[in-house]
Structure 1
Amino acid sequence: MDNSTSKVLDKSIDDLAVDDRFNNSIIVHSASTAGQAPQNDSTFKKLICKLKGDIYATDDPRQYSSAKKNFIVFIVALGGIYGPLSTLIYVPGILQMARDLDASIEAINATMSAYVALAGLTPLFWSSISDTYGRRPVYIMSITIGIVASILCASSKNIAMLIVFRALQASGASSGQTLGAGSIGDVFDVADRGKAYGVFFIGPLLGPSIGPLIGGILCEFLGWQSTFYFTAIFGGIVLVLVTLFLPETVRKTRPTIEDDNIKGNNSVFRNLSTAFAPMAVMLGDPTILIMTLYGSIIFASLFFLNPTITDTFETLYNYNSWQVGLCYLCLGVGMIFGSVFSGIYSDRIIKDLRDRLGSDNVYPELRLKAVYPSFILIPAGYLIYAWTTEKHVAVYGPLIGLFVYAVGQMFAVNPSSVYYVDSKPGRSASAVSLNNCARSLLGAIVTIFSTSCVRSAGPGVVFTILAAISVVNITFVLLVKVYGRKWRTSFEKRTGTAPVAVANCINNHSSSSALDVEIQRKA
């Protein structure tokens, strides 16, 4: 899974602009004279304006026809696949890379670590830039960076070059998930976004599923360099579609607070500060801190497993690269299966609780009951995979283990991700961003040492330990399930960040930093 599989469901600025309460306390003004670029002497902004052309396509992108909206979803969904596809497409060829570049397996794994770390951090930068200058120019710049970096990866002559260029590749390719979610929020009304997001978020699951399969075939017949040329070509296709067919979806009229303290807020540096400020506040909430720790361990365990699959199946089963790619497909199918059914199961739990207890008595922590199947599936999948590979059981044994583990992984990830949205209405993007940063950094660290650990201790011991860690990890969810409501309400009262307090802040035209952060952030 890539850092960016969390759904951005916060109200966008455009939603607030049509909210009567918000209209009473803000002045909606034009960002610039129609058809004219904002005046700024900076070279960076002049470049942005050239990329934009006609700065805003329309005052209200939500008035687009259904066909045009669906085509926009198609384009941004392809952009959303680009980053996850680039993450694992080369993994079936890592042993080839180690031989060709005369590098250790730890050094090869560092190329994935660099990608995962930057893929978790740079979307914060891109989203802040796009909120100020629009989606389209940021799409064009970031995808271009990803394409160039992919070509440089294929041309790398040593492992140091590859690590640097993989980090650069992540910086560009990972933007699609954040920008795509924002574009959908720009174009669709709140009531119509569910289906659009459903299509869009297929990308983070489909990319890791088909990437190793495509990469395995390419590595087997054309060498590992071909996987990076493939991602460059794929990025080129997305770039052409964005350049020719994707309009600017940021509205021409933008609401702001009329306050001297925040005038001149059309600054990327200010947007970056407002992106990180609410994340720092979230660290004080015990529920978010504990759930972030839980999610980071879940994510790190997946990225510990990923690079070891190639080594395990090539060594134990004498598989070639494309056969290893098929093994990764089993993991991806399990994730898709788990994603679909965990969502259905989670919604069913909430519906049953509302019918039985009444809507007023259902609170966010109750949704965490949907995580319970993962308590069995994750350790069971690990143990099946651990000892079928340790004892050299026929290949269907570890494949079953991978599938069971992947299903459990999604039962853990999906409900816990929705918990952020349920428990932090209007501020869930900050909580999700904190989770993404933490899990990406931890995942990047464990990836480096995963293969060497399995080689030295054996898969049986290593993955049994991970199964035990997953059992201990259950404690964090249960703590939030039992005490989370009390901790959360106490934190909100202490900091004045309860949903009602935010609403009152809007009504009273407050210039507090909390409101400043909220109106600057977009889904």
Structure 2
Amino acid sequence: MSTETRKDPPLSGAPSLSNAPDSASQDQIAPEPPYSIFDKRQKWLIVALVSTAATFSGFASNIYFPALPTIADDLNVSLELVNLTVTSYLIFQGIAPSLWGPVSDVRGRRVAYVGTFIVFIGACIGLAETKNYATLIVLRCLQSTGSASTIAIGSGVIGDITTRAERGGFMGIFQAGLLAPVAIGPVIGGALAGSLGWRSVFWFLMIYAAVFLLILIFLLPETLRSIVANGSVLSSNPMTRFPLQTYQKLSKVETDPDTPPPQLAAKKHVDIFGPFRILISKQAAPIILFLAIYYAVWQMSITAMSSLFKDRYGLTEIQIGLTFIANGVGSIIGTLITGKILNIDYGRVKASFETRVSADVEEESALSRSKSNQEDFPLEKARLRLVPVFSVLQCLSLLLFGWTIQFPHRVHIAVPIVSTFITGWTAVSMQSVIMTYLVDVYHDKSAGASASLNLARCLFAAGGTSIVKPLINAVGVGLTFTICAIVQVVALIGPLIQWKFAAGWRKKAAARDVQDA
């Protein structure tokens, strides 16, 4: 059994001290159950599963790019019309998690996963048999509805089983799985479309999803805390059970006799508007808007890469696919390293804070001290310190990309490719930081919080990718990405507002919730 001490807000009210048998025990608090019964190895398995599940969103998007010209020729439509299927995919990629995220926060993570993968598999089969453009665009929207939500659900699972102190590292692994398709998706898509035809891309996705769904059903335990508490309560609902329960241990076996049994988190109803309320809330809106702008600019640079490298350097389709590897590798390496830095930062801030609190409230009881820790802990300082660093680096890499590719005869192709490595590194590291922060803030609605972030960034990306080519044609590559960098600098106002005011807003919101309850 894991011996991890719970750090996140408790599942239920703290034990009362009024019924203590004698005065000597009044200053003692009964030990609480561990936040999660899963040990480190079991958590790594769960995170590996949800990280793999998250790859489907990226694969369905990136594996599709090399096949666009072939699809246009086969269906006898213009390339501009086929490009609209990319925009529609991004739009539904933003909207769909707003439905599936709240479902997973109420009905269970396994139920939501099974539903999304069934939709995704059905859409892939239909796409592989598509005979006309109308069917293509409708099924791409349906495919996005099935694949995009794996990100929000996976964030919810990680929020269920991890405390703040360790969450950064696991979120880094999750982001790495999410972004692996950025590196290898175009390569696989180009190979399949070039050898077996564009329909083989969707048959590949269908087989991959069907095999993984079986693995998920057998191995992934239910983690939603309103159903299984810390993992030790087994539900009677067959949809939340899984055949291999070798590591989902029963409460009566795992709980110490002197420790009260784990309490289920409060039941909630499915609130499809929950992510939208998070999106416009003071506690989240500034940082979500900031990330949406940076994500949109990153996607604009990726979208422009194919045509720019082809026009400026005369690369073939296969060579263009290989240029995406630098961006993908930078994304994966960056998020892995950032996850470790997040854990180190959190540990450092936590140790400093606890030392100060111990000195200030030495006379207070342990219970009061614990409550003070939860309300006053400087979460923004622990999580958002690296945001300005990543922001500056991403702006510089975009300027390097735009102005070097503007003069291809003077600059070797290696320079803009290296700049995409830096852009991928910083963009994804920023996403890892902010997604971890939002899961910390909305620990009881983690999938909904992830869905709100996903909604904003995908809608911004859809708009950005639709204007990048006309903007480049109008003012040139260098000026286009200079404008993008300026917009990103202005967007830093969002993290500044978050750093200065979010803690106070969060405390007031918590007080209102207590009063309402």
Same-fold status (TM-score > 0.5):
yes
Residues 130 and 179 in structure 1, CA contact (< 8 A), matched pair in contact too: yes
Percent identity between the two aligned chains:
28
2:125 corresponds to 1:151: yes
Q: CA deviation at 1:453?
A: 3.4
Q: Is contact 2:121-2:206 (8 Å) kept?
A: yes
Instruction: Measure how far apart 1:226 and its partner are.
Output: 2.5
Does the 8 Å CA contact 1:75/1:238 hold for their aligned counterparts? Answer: no
Deviation at 1:21, TM superposition (A): 5.3
Unaligned runs of 5+ in 2: 1-5, 19-33, 229-233, 236-262, 358-375
Report the counterpart of residue 389 of structure 1 in structure 2.
405
Q: Say whether the 8 Å CA contact 1:109–1:447 is kept in structure 2.
A: no
Is 2:186 the counterpart of 1:212?
Answer: yes
CA spacing shift, 1:131–1:404, aligned 2, 3 Å? closer
Q: How far, CA to CA, are the matches of 1:345 and 1:74 in structure 2?
A: 20
Q: Give, in angstroms, the shift of residue 192 of structure 1.
A: 7.4
2:379 corresponds to 1:364: yes
Asked whether the equivalents of residues 112 and 447 of structure 1 are also in contact (C-alpha less than 8 Å), the reply is no
Tell me the SS of whatever aligns to 1:400.
helix
**Structure 1, residues 355-388: CA drift from partner, whole Å, max 9, x if none?**
7775558723334331122233112111211122
Q: 2:216 aligns with which of 214, 230, 242?
A: 242
> Please, which moves more after superposition, 431-440 or 326-335?
431-440
d(CA) in 2 for partners of 1:219, 1:236 = 21
Residues 192-242 of structure 1, C-alpha deviations (whole Å, 9 max, x = no match)? 767655544432121222212212222333333322222112112112323
* Residue 327 of structure 1, aligned match among 301, 319, 323: 323
Name the residue aligned to 1:484. Answer: 501
2:198 corresponds in structure 1 to 224
Which of 474, 477, 480 is the equivalent residue of 1:459?
Answer: 477
Q: Which residue of 1 aligns with 2:277?
A: 280
What displacement does 1:124 show? 3.1
User: Does the CA contact (< 8 Å) of 1:92 and 1:324 recur in 2?
Assistant: no
In structure 2, give the amino acid aligned to 1:365.
Answer: E
State how far apart, in whole Å, the 1-side matches of 2:210 and 2:309 are.
Answer: 33
Q: Does 1:299 align with 2:299?
A: no
Q: Is the 8 A contact 1:296 1:438 kept in 2?
A: yes
Deviates more, 1:288-297 or 1:173-182: 173-182
Matched with 2:61 is 87
In the TM superposition, residue 284 of structure 1 has moved relative to its aligned partner by 4.2
SS in 2 for 1:16: coil
Q: Confirm whether residue 447 of structure 1 aligns to residue 465 of structure 2.
A: yes
Q: In the alignment, what sits opposite 1:412?
A: 430
Deviation at 1:454, TM superposition (A): 2.9
Question: Structure 1 residues 182-191 or 445-454, which shifts more?
Answer: 182-191
Q: Provide closer, same or farther for how the CA distance between residues 389 and 193 of structure 1 changes in structure 2, counting only shifts above 3 A.
A: closer
Q: What 5-or-longer segments of structure 1 have no aligned partner?
A: 1-8, 25-59, 516-523
Note the alpha carbon deviations across 1:248-285, whole angstroms, 9 max, x for none. Answer: 5553458476xxxx9xx7xxxx41x2x52474266241
- Residue 297 of structure 1 deviates from its aligned partner by 0.6
Matches within 5 A, 1:19-168: 20=14, 71-168=45-142
| Cα deviation, residue 404, structure 1 | 1.9
Cα displacement (A) at 1:168: 0.4
Instruction: Quote the Cα distance in structure 1 between the aligned partners of 2:415 and 2:99.
Output: 43
Q: Distance in 1 between matches of 2:344 and 2:42?
A: 33
Q: Which moved more, 1:326-335 or 1:193-202?
A: 193-202
Question: In the superposition, relative to structure 1, how do residues 426 and 242 fare at CA in structure 2: closer, same or farther (>3 Å)?
Answer: closer
| Deviation digits for residues 93-149 of structure 1 (CA, Å, limit 9, x no counterpart) | 333334434444443332222222222222232233345544434433321221221
Please give the alpha-carbon distance, in whole angstroms, between the structure 2 residues aligned to 1:328 and 1:166.
23
Question: Bigger shift: 103-112 or 82-91?
Answer: 103-112
Residue of 466, 486, 495 corresponding to 1:468: 486
How far off its partner does 1:492 sit?
4.5
* Distance in 1, Cα, partners of 2:287 & 2:158: 27
User: Secondary structure of the residue that 2:131 maps to in structure 1?
Assistant: coil
Residue 312 of structure 2 corresponds to 316
Between 365-374 and 352-361, the greater mean CA deviation after superposition: 352-361
- What is the TM-score with the length of structure 2 in the denominator? 0.72
